[in-house]
A and B are shown apart, each in its own frame.
Chain A
Amino acid sequence: ELKVEQNPLFLSMQEGKNYTIYCNYSTTSDRLYWYRQDPGKSLESLFVLLSNGAVKQEGRLMASLDTKARLSTLHITAAVHDLSATYFCAVNDYKLSFGAGTTVTVRA
């Protein structure tokens, strides 16, 4: 069974500082997704990482994938309040297997 582990599960960020969320998974996969979920809302697709060494960036978020280490990271640069949300990574084994999510709170 495919297992996906995220850490940390909770992250309190200070505005302007940098942070990283980690996603480890247990089997070979060449496609990994990052989603964002705001409270009471559905999931919004952030990134699709297609191959080893893939790096995608959008605004203050940057995601990378190391398929050999079975690790993806989501790096947040200079955190701002509107990044407060829960972030999920998911690995595609035709169905998506999700991590437990990282709840991010950005404080002034």
Chain B
Amino acid sequence: GAGVSQSPSNKVTEKGKDVELRCDPISGHTALYWYRQRLGQGLEFLIYFQGNSAPDKSGLPSDRFSAERTGESVSTLTIQRTQQEDSAVYLCASSSRLADYQETQYFGPGTRLLVL
């Protein structure tokens, strides 16, 4: 596709349920990033993929959060036993080069997660 796509665009869930968020990066982009944006705040880094390996998971807030990537395409971010503080917009970004981490990151539209 022309840009990064994410699904669902909105998700409302009950506390304690698991949710899965999906990201389709720009075709050919080897690097993929997940960020979280709480209401009225900047972006927090969650995890970074080079291909399908994740050299940096340092931003994941707890062990309830995990992410996977299939090859150099789709990534899923899973939140288990959701809590109200998980409510946020989850943004995915991709960039084109494996070795040059300084390439511009292009962002998807985000998934707005609300935990009741």
Contacts and interface: CB of A to CB of B under 8 A. Distances in A.
Interface of A: 31, 33, 35, 41-45, 48, 88, 90, 92, 94-101
Contact of B101 (A42, A94, A100): A94
Contact of A95 (B42, B56, B91, B106): B56
B107 A42 contact: yes
A88 B43 contact: yes
Contact of B102 (A41, A44, A92, A100): A92
A88 B45 contact: no
A98 B107 CA distance: 14
Interface of B: 33, 35, 41-43, 45, 48, 56, 59, 91, 93, 101-102, 104-110
Contacts of B101: 92, 94
A43 B42 contact: no
A42 B109 contact: yes
Contacts of B45: 95-97
9 contacts: A33-B104, A41-B109, A42-B91, A43-B91, A45-B104, A94-B101, A95-B33, A96-B35, A101-B41
Contacts of A99: 42
A77 to B, nearest CB: 24
Contacts, number: 46
Nearest to B44: A98
A74 B101 CA distance: 24
Contacts of B102: 31, 92, 94
Given A33-B104, A96-B43, A96-B93, 7 more contacts: A42-B110, A90-B43, A94-B48, A94-B56, A96-B35, A96-B45, A101-B42
B20 to A, nearest CB: 20
A98 B45 CA distance: 9
B56 A43 contact: no
Considering the complex of A and B, which 3 residue pairs feature the smallest CB-CB distances, nearest first? A94-B101, A98-B42, A43-B107
B105 A96 contact: yes
A42 B108 contact: yes
